[in-house]
């Protein structure tokens, strides 16, 4: 079982990188990608534990990007970690997310018993801050019962507490992943419940600058959307991946609930600059 999209406490997952590796092994996942939002500091801890528990590790990240105002998540796999353009993107986005979280915390503090300190207490050193951490602060303060409730109500983009953050253009991020020797794959391209999504023409333009795959098998897609994405991938010659987008206890997603074929994994391994770490 190959699961190419998971999160740890390095971004908005609820388990440490090592814990995610242990849980992957326990769930019968033999190859797992750690793809924290805009951050790669979890790679080493994950690698050490993956070797211990006997799972193969694909090192990656989920990069926040924007196309015409649409928030687009780009998975990058097996890229060289020291490549400057890509690292600058990740660092810039983390900084923008930090400022945005502080602004949202200030807005929330006017109406709820949460403040910036409480939000910071929900995240570790170097963690990419997102709305999930604001949600955790609201849960800690007893304002809502769960992350889910926070997202459905207070943290919804239509609400006055929502603030946007800057991110690189998707096409530039695709180029940066390729220049760093990595494999760029669009995460959950048609997940409409997260907001506006790209259309087929936009995916075609990203393909023209080097996009290599579409994450079709994902819980946020209907069977019709999966078929549509498979059709686009077939037409453009893109890889089709699947994943759980695991966030630990932060989301209902279960490890291995959607997965990627061994043939596609072999293709990703072939194209990536870094090896898959095998136990
Ligand atoms: P942000 O990018 O900071 O605006 O927050 C979006 C992140 O929140 C995504 O990475 C999702 O994984 C996460 N997210 C979205 N909806 C939910 C939800 N209902 N419960 C928990 N996490 C969510
Ligand atoms: Fe997330
Ligand atoms: Fe995502
Ligand atoms: Zn994700």
94-135 confidence digits (pLDDT tens): 999 999 999 999 999 999 999 999 999 999 999 999 999 999
The CA distance from 251 to 50, in Å, is 22
Q: What is the pLDDT of residues 220-278, one digit of tens each?
A: 999 999 999 999 999 999 999 999 999 999 899 999 999 999 999 999 999 999 999 99
Query: What residues have their beta carbon closer than 5 A to ion ligand 2?
Result: 12
Query: Which residue shows structure tokens 């998707």?
Result: 170
* Token digits of residue 229: 């994405």
Q: Which residues contact 169 (CB under 8 A, 6 or more apart)?
A: 65, 66, 67
Q: Which residue ranges have their beta carbon within 6 Å of ligand 1? A: 12, 37, 130-132, 147-148, 151, 247, 250-251
Distance 157 CA to ligand 1 centre (A): 11
Contact 241, 3 (CB under 8 A): no
The structure's pTM equals 0.97
Residue 14: pLDDT band (50, 70, 90) is: very high
């Amino acid at each position: 079982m190959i699961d190419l999209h998971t999160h740890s406490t390095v971004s908005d997952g609820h388990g440490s990188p090592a814990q995610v590796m242990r849980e992957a092994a326990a769930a019968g996942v033999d190859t797992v990608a750690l793809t924290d939002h805009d951050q790669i500091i979890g790679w080493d801890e994950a690698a050490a534990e993956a070797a211990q528990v006997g799972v193969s590790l694909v090192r990656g990240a989920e990069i926040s990007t924007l196309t015409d105002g649409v928030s687009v998540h780009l998975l990058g796999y097996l890229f060289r970690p020291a490549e400057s353009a890509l690292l600058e993107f990740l660092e810039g986005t983390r900084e923008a997310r930090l400022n945005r979280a502080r602004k949202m915390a200030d807005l929330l503090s006017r109406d709820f018993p949460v403040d910036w300190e409480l939000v910071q207490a929900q995240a570790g050193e170097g963690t990419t801050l997102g709305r999930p951490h604001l949600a955790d602060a609201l849960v800690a303060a007893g304002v809502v019962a769960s992350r889910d409730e926070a997202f459905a109500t207070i943290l919804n983009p239509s609400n006055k507490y929502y603030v946007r953050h800057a991110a690189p253009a998707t096409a530039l991020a695709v180029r940066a992943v390729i220049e760093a020797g990595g494999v760029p794959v669009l995460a959950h391209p048609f997940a409409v419940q997260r907001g506006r999504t790209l259309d087929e023409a936009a995916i075609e333009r990203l393909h023209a600058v080097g996009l290599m795959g579409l994450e079709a098998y994902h819980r946020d897609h209907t069977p019709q959307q999966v078929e549509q994405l498979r059709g686009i991938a077939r037409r453009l010659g893109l890889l089709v991946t699947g994943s759980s987008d695991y966030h630990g206890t932060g989301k209902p997603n279960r490890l291995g609930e959607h997965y990627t074929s061994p043939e596609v994994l072999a293709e990703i391994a072939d194209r990536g600059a870094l090896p898959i770490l095998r136990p």
